[in-house]
Structure 1
């Protein structure tokens, strides 16, 4: 018997809502851990040929390595901004209008639980006003604001609106550094430390048939300059998302010649100043000319390139010491706000630019091997009674192939737990079949998640508005067990 993914027929079965992490992922989360001691911040930079090199070659390469790690998220954010706003411009929404499919590229380990409504904000001239309309309380939404360094500074959501008004619509004033105007009545001030801001909104979608309803909500979102507020009733300027980018921005950045990278980093720091706690790092970077508005100096191009290469290797394999490996799942509760943990910030940006705060979404990830086509390995994921993921919104489980893309399969099932309701056992437990082949009529359609027929795969368990038990580790996902 063959089957196809059932169509969603109503609001979220869990009675709560949803969101997910944008997966602009690049590399697997697991890898060899590297030491990240002594990372500092950033300064001016220019090699004018007249500066006297300081320290040894090894010293200068080490400073360049740490400066690259420090500046990588900033330059990557800028590359994403350029790619996503090409021909469109800033300060307007870019609405996602369709769910991804296995042929979708450009983003790795992307989720299917929400449609994105993102906007790149330029706050140099004046603040922007965001208004979120009234949305069915069963539908989860979150509107995180990321600064230019990828820190999530504010995160209003359906669970925590963080608004002046007790009820929707919710209105927010997003201002850049140095703005000191008066906040209009009824608006919640959301000050940002940088002038470049990424508003990465997500609205729960309950399957393909629910997309039109979400698009209606997207059309009601308002984003206008403060000088143009209140709105005149017309829809805010918006555009469809850019679709698949010709080249992933992370690849654009990693291919940049070292000197071009550092020049761009210093230029961006002029408008997007590092945080005060970055001062010790900036002092160190200044020894090779890396400062806001500067250019590398006193260091050769070969030394800059060596620093870049070393930094890229460290970023690629970094695993946060605070991450937990439990039952085969990697759980990292410390993303979204990074402080002075620059290697964690860079590694997170490299694997998943736009990561949510743990209070909004958690993303346990598991890597597995489905065997070979002659001897495939089926798996089961069993949740004991009362031990499904503890969330205030909803959860989902999505499978990906070795490159982090959705798994093509005849049934067209790419994710379970949310869009297609799961079916519990009589004792309240939940058993999910994780395998390529149809497990047969004994397994409800909502309990089957296809994986590749052979080889490497990964699972991402997305938990939206996770409860304290999940955030603290009191609850952990069960192991994925092979069927023998």
Structure 2
């Protein structure tokens, strides 16, 4: 749901680095014998390891002040620049989000019949930000029948029988984030999407047979609350690790994380534990080092074409803890590439002089290759939508772009209204000055977009 920040060095800055997590030893020292510099390196890597978990938990806690657990929050309006609780919002879909607790029993999710051509996605993330399941209009992933499509979301300790008319979606943590999306084709289309949202069902299995009404609440359109990422960054190191240890006790790591957890335990960082054997100053220094390393991490599999960058290997992370933390930092809840990719570029309006004008030209037949649809959104230096008198924040989707006589497509990217010279739908406003960024969203992208055989065009300055 967000993107912003970027590139460069990786966790070599921590000295020991997370590579050490791949080696376990029966001779790992206890917390009382860990040298100061080693303890600091371990704490730095533990922060990177736990950052996505803590951010997810803070995000969950904030959401549950509005909607109880196992309850949908339905977005009923498109975002505006005044919405500043989440960065890099899209204007292509309306969200139906919920935080699930499957520790006691499974939760039933049902998606109604949706008109053909309208994209939908029900993304299920575990507490560590891995996309565990992703049924969608392109791939419903049902055993048989439908629509409606009925799924049973089961937790790690459940061992019951799945009803014949349901498809099991098992998750490895009791805490699950359901990020549902439904394509919306502009403000006039909102009532149609709202009607579909009201048909979504989300109930505990014990309540399903009784056909109880699915509870839901509207999603706030704006907030003055401190955004969860800032809440995490503002935590003291001690508070962060205390939160991490507490959440680890509820959502334990996977078996493949055992080497890392064994290493972190040498300074007390374990489920239900407490950082110890390390001074307050070293703990704070470790947290500061991690906060620099996470946004600086540059993934080896990053695609960089004509200034547009995206990583096709996000959404599931295994033991790539640096990538997992970096993606959570720039965009919590990233999709897997088969559902959506977000090529993003960063620019500066000042580079074009006063009233800078930029252009994107797609050659004939080279618009973004998708099985659903695509869009282009502009953001300011803080990754929020760009205020402008025309109230245009994204193009490519709600109003079709207009091609030139030869089939090419020119998009005007500039602050100043180009007037009748540019067709409606081909102008995207950016800030009058300073930094900005563009994100191109490809929903259900074709393989040629995922593997880099298709290239977004260069953003050029108009003299």
In structure 2, what is the Cα distance between the partners aligned to 1:325 and 1:190? Answer: 34
Q: How far apart, in 2, do the equivalents of 1:238 and 1:133 lie? A: 16
Task: Name which of structure 1's ranges 53-62 and 75-84 shifts more when overlaid on structure 2.
Answer: 53-62
2:193 maps to 214
Among 237, 240, 265, the residue aligned to 1:258: 237
Give the deviation of 1:128 after TM superposition. 0.2
- TM (norm. structure 1) is 0.90
Alpha-carbon distance in structure 1 between the residues aligned to 2:353 and 2:251: 55
Corresponding residue for residue 446 of structure 2: 467
Q: Deviations along 1:49-85, whole A, 9 cap, x unmatched?
A: xx76323211000000000100111111010001011
Secondary structure of 1:260 counterpart: helix
**How far apart are the structure 1 equivalents of 2:210 and 2:200?**
11
Q: Which residue of 2 aligns with 1:298?
A: 277
Q: Which moved more, 1:83-92 or 1:203-212?
A: 83-92
User: What is the alpha-carbon distance in structure 1 between the residues aligned to residue 248 and residue 447 of structure 2?
Assistant: 36
**Residues 406-455 of structure 1: per-residue CA shift (max 9 Å, x gap):** 11112111110000111111222111111111223131111111111222
Question: For 2:352 and 2:411, how far apart are their aligned partners in 1?
Answer: 21
Residue in structure 2 matched with residue 19 of structure 1 by the alignment: none
Note the 1:127-138 alignment, pairs <5 A: 127-138=106-117
| 1:32 has 2:8 as partner | yes
Task: Output the CA distance in 2 between the equivalents of 1:253 and 1:483.
Answer: 41
Query: CA separation in 1, counterparts of 2:21 and 2:280?
Result: 20
Query: How far 1:466 moved relative to its partner?
Result: 0.3
2:142 matched to which residue of 1? 163
Q: Is the 8 A contact 2:31 2:267 kept in 1?
A: no
State the shift of 1:300 in Å.
Answer: 2.0
- Cα distance change, pair 439–311 in 1 and its aligned pair in 2 (3 A): same
User: Relative contact order: is structure 1 or structure 2 higher (C-alpha 8 Å, sep ≥ 6)?
Assistant: 1
Query: Cα distance, 1:164 vs. partner?
Result: 2.0
1:195 aligns with 2:171: no
Which is further off, 129-138 or 262-271? 262-271
Matched, 1:101 2:80: yes
Number of corresponding residues = 451
CA apart distance, 1:372: 7.3
Question: What CA deviation, in whole Å up to 9, does each residue of 1:126-151 have, x standing for no partner?
Answer: 00000000001211000000000000
For the residues of structure 1 that align with 2:49 and 2:168, how far apart are their CA atoms? Answer: 29
| Stretch deviating more after TM superposition (65-74 or 161-170) | 161-170
Instruction: Determine the C-alpha separation between the residues in 2 that align with 1:331 and 1:257.
Output: 32
Match of 1:286 in 2: 265
Structure 2 counterpart of 1:7: none
Task: Tell me: CA distance 1:231–1:458, structure 2 relative to 1, closer, same or farther (3 Å).
Answer: farther
CA–CA distance in 1 between the matches of 2:116 and 2:60?
31
Q: Distance in 2 between matches of 1:389 and 1:218?
A: 28
Distance 1:177 1:313 in 2: 34
Alpha-carbon distance in structure 2 between the residues aligned to 1:192 and 1:265: 20
Contact 1:330 1:365 in 2 (8 A): yes
Asked whether the 8 Å contact 2:51–2:325 carries over to 1, the reply is: yes
Residue 349 (structure 1) aligns with: 328
- SS of the residue corresponding to residue 470 of structure 1 reads helix
Matched, 1:445 2:421: no
Aligned equivalents of 1:348, 1:40: Cα separation in 2 = 21
Question: Aligned pair 1:236/2:223, yes or no?
Answer: no
Which whole-Å deviations, capped at 9, do the CAs of 1:171-213 have from their partners, x for residues lacking one? 0000111111000011110000000000000101111111111
How far apart are 1:165 and its partner, in Å?
2.9
| Distance change in 2, residues 1:471/1:81 (3 Å) | same
Q: Please state whether the residue corresponding to 2:146 is helix, strand or coil.
A: coil
**Does the 8 A contact of 2:77 with 2:221 survive in 1?**
no
Task: Judge conservation of contact 2:174–2:250 (CA < 8 Å) in 1.
Answer: yes
Distance in 1 separating the partners of 2:187 and 2:146: 29
**In the TM superposition, what is the alpha-carbon distance from 1:341 to its structure 2 partner?**
0.9
The CA distance in 1 between the partners of 2:143 and 2:209, in whole Å, is: 16
Q: Unpaired runs of 5+ in structure 2? A: 23-29
CA distance in 1 between counterparts of 2:193 and 2:31 reads 59
Structure 1 pair 428–276 and aligned structure 2 pair: CA distance change class (3 A): same
CA distance in 1, matches of 2:280, 2:412: 54
Q: Distance in 2 between matches of 1:276 and 1:401?
A: 41
Helix, strand or coil at the partner of 1:418: coil
Matching of residue 317 in structure 1 with residue 296 in structure 2: yes
Whole-angstrom distance in 1 between the partners of 2:400 and 2:431: 22
Q: How far apart, in 2, do the equivalents of 1:38 and 1:405 lie? A: 33
1:335 lines up with 2:311 in the alignment: no
Q: Note if contact 1:116-1:200 (Cα within 8 Å) is conserved in structure 2.
A: yes
**TM-score, scaled relative to structure 2:** 0.94
SS at match of 2:246: helix
Instruction: Please name the residue that 2:95 is paired with.
Output: 116
- Across the aligned residues of Structure 1 and Structure 2, the Cα RMSD in angstroms comes to 1.7
Residue number in structure 1 paired with 2:27: none
